Amino acid sequence: MTVSPTASPQPDAERTDTERLGTVVLLRRVARLVPSVRTGLAATLAFAALAAVGRIVVPVVVQYTIDHGLLTAVTSEERTRIVVRCALLGMAAVLVAGVGSSLMNRRLISTVEDVVSALRIRVLDHTLRLPPTRLESGAQGSFVARSTDDLDAVTVFAQGGGMTLVQNLTQMTIAFLVMAVYSWPLAILAALVACVVPLVGRYVQRIIAGRFDVVRSRIGQLYAAFAETLTGIDTIRAAGAVERVRTRVHSRIDATADAQVRTLLPMSASFSVGQSIDTLITIAVMCGGVALGLGTSGVGSSITVGTVVAFVFLVTFFVRPLQFAVNTLADAKNSEAGLRRVLAILDLETDAVAQEIATPLRPGMFDVDIDAVEVGYVPGRPVLTGLNLRIGAGQQVAVVGETGSGKSTFAKLLTRQLHPTTGTVRFAGVDVASIGDESLARRVAVVPQDPFLFDRSVLENIAVARPGADRHDVEAILAELGLDDWARDLPHGLDTRTGQRGEALSVGERQLVALARTALVDPDLLVLDEATSGVDAGTDVRLQRALTSIGRGRTTVTIAHRLHSARVADRILVFDRGRIVEDGTHDELVATGGLYARLQDAWSFRSTLV
């Protein structure tokens, strides 16, 4: 089991070890994650070689036609016969090249989609097992960018530039071998001049490699800014902070654009240099070919006219693929940076417990023991300290305290959304850290202040809690909670759509749906974080009635932001500055005249003003 620390750095806060991996190591890791990529790439290279051979045959046919058909044939019939045969052979070669290229493209597309799909699945599965603190709203945009935009960058390159790269490298290699067979002096001459292209490309790649990492990081930060802005748009408007937020997001947009420009300018310069080198090599080969053709060079045999013409074609097949390959490798840095960021998600430690070592909870209600626990979100800054208590099986516990006293953090501790920095939390004597995810999900449920609802019907939002649950099951659980009248009064009953994140319902109604969903799971420990506002009197009565019903036969911990909820609890825990300062029943705590009594008086006074 790997347990992430409670502090959760944002994924774009710093470059991880994965984001520093070299290209070869990166590709090897992808091959380990998706073994089918090896077979797919092997087939792709085989088809690319077939396509390249088809193309290279054409210059060879041209050379043979010139030397044997046009220059040395004695009769017109012989000349015609050679030209026709060579033309048919050339057309067949073009057909082979087309078929090979088509098969290569299809195989590469299939392989890329397999890899990207496998990575998306792995990223999703891994993200679902990350501690919730890593997925706070500020980090969600970065995770979305990595699992969508960064993977899209990989897909676009692999299915576009990747095809060109495989094809060009294969064609370039075969073209050089054929040139060497024709005339190794000319082949070496062409290669020496062409060396300038990769040297320039290598220089440019060194410049832009780090810049592409910056681009991908800036895009992730931009996504995070948009996600945070859209999530909190109501709060931003209410606080009059629209201009400040707009300025901040604009600065992210400008920073992203600047990073893109700084990256693309060296690439355009590299392309211009490559075009000039192409012309220089053609001139060098023509001059060298003429010199060797005169038979005065003294190096090997003289070169025929057909060989010189074929060389001009072959130089094109050699230099231009080299130029495009260098430029494509520059583009690959963007894809490579995206791939690194995707794999970096897979390196984040999860708090999931491996099923084979997980400890199951025995059936039935259980005691909760918290021993010497300290917990916080940032190392060295605990939110809760010195927690030592036992919650008995079946107890109805209310947690109260002023804002910032640690109540909601306590709820996260009980549901393993946060791990103790020190100390231990035990359910039925079993360390929570060793309980399997599925077992914990079946036995422990939480209803947050503002529950998440899917943009579906009320029926579907409740039934999602239990596979196979139908309308009858949902209606039965609503009746058990005393919520059947509320459901009937909805505009379309259980078929009423809740809207995005449940926006069509009030905060209190969203908690009613969440309570019904939780009751369908039938957990042994229920943690309810009450809504702090937006609950009308009628909904509040329904909430209390439903909570009383769902609390029977199970342990319930209610984070009570409205103190009338605490009165009916078996036990009240009073938090202050991260510590439990009072523990008892309502009557006991009121009688002591401590913090709870003062909170009760203040709450009662505010209630009389409403």
The tens digit of pLDDT for each residue in 485-503 reads: 898 888 988 999 988 877 8
Identify whether the C-beta of residue 420 lies closer than 8 Å to the C-beta of residue 375: yes
Helix (H, G, I), strand (E, B) or coil at 280: helix
109/197 same-domain check: yes
The predicted pLDDT at position 535 comes to 67
341/426 same-domain check: no
Contacts of 212 (CB under 8 A, 6+ apart): 263, 333, 334, 336, 337
Number of domains in the chain: 2
The predicted pLDDT at position 609 comes to 47
Is 474 a member of any domain?
no
Name which of 367, 207, 365, 183 is nearest 291 in CA terms.
183
Whether 394 has a pLDDT exceeding 70, the answer reads yes
**CA pair distance 100, 587, nearest whole angstrom:** 85
**Is residue 95 very low, low, confident or very high in pLDDT (cuts 50, 70, 90)?**
very high
Give residue-wise pLDDT tens across range 151-180.
777 777 776 666 777 777 888 888 888 888
The predicted pLDDT at position 573 comes to 93
- Domain containing residue 551: CATH number: 3.40.50.300
The predicted pLDDT at position 583 comes to 92
Is 271 a member of any domain?
yes
The per-residue pLDDT of the chain, averaged, comes to: 78
**Is residue 2 very low, low, confident or very high in pLDDT (cuts 50, 70, 90)?**
very low
320/435 same-domain check: no
165/237 same-domain check: yes
Summary count for the chain: helices (H), strands (E):
21, 10
Give residue-wise pLDDT tens across range 279-314.
676 777 667 766 665 444 433 445 777 887 888 888
Whether 77 has a pLDDT exceeding 70, the answer reads yes
The predicted pLDDT at position 132 comes to 60
**CA pair distance 54, 48, nearest whole angstrom:** 10
**CA pair distance 100, 120, nearest whole angstrom:** 30
Identify whether the C-beta of residue 1 lies closer than 8 Å to the C-beta of residue 353: yes
User: What per-residue string of b and e applies to 366-391 under the rule 16 or more CB within 10 Å gives b?
Assistant: bebbbeebbbbbeeeebbbbebeeeb
Is 38 a member of any domain?
yes
Higher pLDDT, 446 or 274: 446
Name which of 89, 81, 102 is nearest 58 in CA terms.
89
Q: Which letter does DSSP use for residue 497 in this model?
A: B
Give residue-wise pLDDT tens across range 184-214.
887 887 777 777 766 766 676 677 666 777 7
83/221 same-domain check: yes
Average pLDDT over residues 566-587: 90
Considering 346, 381, 403, which residue would you say is the last residue of a domain? 346
294/442 same-domain check: no
The predicted pLDDT at position 425 comes to 92
Identify whether the C-beta of residue 415 lies closer than 8 Å to the C-beta of residue 472: no
- Domain containing residue 110: CATH number: 1.20.1560.10
213/325 same-domain check: yes
- Token pair recorded at residue 268: 């355009």
Whether 336 has a pLDDT exceeding 80, the answer reads no
The predicted pLDDT at position 579 comes to 92
- Determine the distance from the C-alpha atom of residue 111 to the mean position of all C-alpha atoms in its chain, rounded to a whole number: 20
Higher pLDDT, 232 or 56: 56
User: What percent of the chain has a predicted confidence (pLDDT) above 70?
Assistant: 78
**CA pair distance 572, 560, nearest whole angstrom:** 10
330/420 same-domain check: no
The predicted pLDDT at position 274 comes to 60
Is 475 a member of any domain?
no
- CB neighbour class for 127 (10 Å; exposed up to 12, middle 13-18, buried from 19): middle
Identify whether the C-beta of residue 427 lies closer than 8 Å to the C-beta of residue 523: no
Considering 315, 346, 377, which residue would you say is the last residue of a domain? 346
The predicted pLDDT at position 370 comes to 93
The amino acid that residue 510 corresponds to is: R
Is 479 a member of any domain?
no
**CA pair distance 197, 195, nearest whole angstrom:** 5
- CB neighbour class for 402 (10 Å; exposed up to 12, middle 13-18, buried from 19): middle
Average pLDDT over residues 229-236: 73
Is 126 a member of any domain?
yes
Higher pLDDT, 289 or 607: 289
Considering 316, 346, 376, which residue would you say is the last residue of a domain? 346
Average pLDDT over residues 562-574: 84
CB atoms within 10 A of CB 503: 11
294/433 same-domain check: no
The predicted pLDDT at position 390 comes to 93
Is 514 a member of any domain?
no
328/375 same-domain check: no
Is 489 a member of any domain?
no
SS (H, E, C) 166-207: HHHHHHHHHHHHHHHHHCHHHHHHHHHHHCHHHHHHHHHHHH
Whether 428 has a pLDDT exceeding 50, the answer reads yes
Identify whether the C-beta of residue 525 lies closer than 8 Å to the C-beta of residue 555: yes
Q: Which phi and psi (to 5°) does residue 314 adopt?
A: -65, -35
Q: Tell me which of 144-158, 426-440, 586-600 is least confident.
A: 144-158
Domain with 586, as residue range(s), is: 368-449+524-609
Give residue-wise pLDDT tens across range 127-144.
777 766 565 544 555 666
421/333 same-domain check: no
**CA pair distance 29, 214, nearest whole angstrom:** 22
Q: Which letter does DSSP use for residue 397 in this model?
A: E
Whether 13 has a pLDDT exceeding 50, the answer reads no
207/165 same-domain check: yes
Instruction: Report the predicted TM-score, pTM, of the whole model to 2 decimal places.
Output: 0.60
